[in-house]
Amino acid sequence: MKLNIIAARTGISWVKLGIRTFFRQPLALAGLFFMFMALMTLASQIPFIGFVLAMALLPAATLGLMVATREATDGRFPMPVVLLAAFRAGRQQARAMLVLGALYALGFLAAIALSYLVDGGDFARVYLGGATPTREMMMEPAFQGAMWVFIGLHLPLSLMFWHAPALVHWHGFPPLKSLFYSLMACLRNFWAYAVFGLMWMAVLVLIVAGVSTVGALLDQPGLAGDLLFPALLLLASMFFSSLYFTFRDTFEQSP
């Protein structure tokens, strides 16, 4: 396995492949994404440890969606069991994935905790769904400072974990090595990933504008709100489908 250097325009191809693959198996991939969301929600409801448990399961659950995309790409119908792929590849890899999940949970909690020190926890409560933001709150310099502290810490955390679950699962990397290679892959191919992110933002804007326009043309503003939530869920499912292609093209596979 070696790291490939990707052209910036490849970011556009990843978005197209994610959308195209989703429509090959829309029921399966959408259903798996909803199961993924349900798993995260149920885990977060467990008293005291729920949120930490949900964060720890996120790398493994994300890998499950990548495995589902690979199945769909190969012309197979992905079954729900693929969400457990991280724990069905052997004891050593399952242990490594659990370590990876624990590291992600610790990193996320550290980012939230440091933002808490900036504004006393207002941003953390809003981000975690424990409070409703107000305009006055969001205009506070302390709130904005906490937000940027969290973003500044969470961005490198996300890059470290972008490919780490796939490297552990498909290449047998130990957790720390997978984090290093994931971060290096994203930095070495910065423009491809930047184009990838910008393209998804553009798709998001188009979806929101399209749904709002439909509601306005039909003179039913409430309809736009009813349609927007499921449309965004389907869009998120397509996004997760595209993650597999970022991994496939970034790392040259062994024969």
Q: Is the dihedral of CA 71, 192, 147, 233 positive or negative?
A: negative
What confidence score (pLDDT) does residue 47 get?
Answer: 87
Residue 26 has pLDDT above 90, yes or no: yes
| pLDDT, tens only, 186-212 | 999 999 999 999 999 999 999 999 988
Mean pLDDT of 147-174: 96
Question: What's the confidence (pLDDT) of residue 118?
Answer: 94
Residue 237, number of CB atoms within 10 A of its CB: 21
Question: Which range, of 45-54, 71-80, 213-222, averages the lowest pLDDT?
Answer: 213-222
Give me 97's structure tokens.
């994935």
pLDDT score, position 84:
93
Q: Which residue has the higher pLDDT, 205 or 89?
A: 205
Q: What's the rounded mean pLDDT across residues 88-94?
A: 89
Tokens 């996320």 -> residue: 108
3-class state of residue 254 by DSSP: coil
Amino acid making up residue 123: F
Summarize pLDDT for 31-58 with one digit per residue, the tens: 999 999 999 999 999 988 999 999 999 9
Per-residue pLDDT at 218: 79
Provide the mean pLDDT of the chain: 92
pLDDT of residue 220: 77
Query: Is the pLDDT at 255 greater than 50, yes or no?
Result: no
Dihedral over alpha carbons 78, 80, 83, 89 (to 10 degrees): -80
CB 173 within 8 A of CB 167: yes
Query: What are the start-end ranges of the E strands in 202-254?
Result: 251-252
In three-state secondary structure terms, 85 is helix
- Band (pLDDT 50/70/90 cuts) for residue 254 is low
For the chain, the domains span 2-252
Query: What's 83's DSSP letter?
Result: G
Give me the mean pLDDT over the 106-115 stretch: 96
Under 8 Å CB-to-CB from 205, ≥6 apart: which residues? none
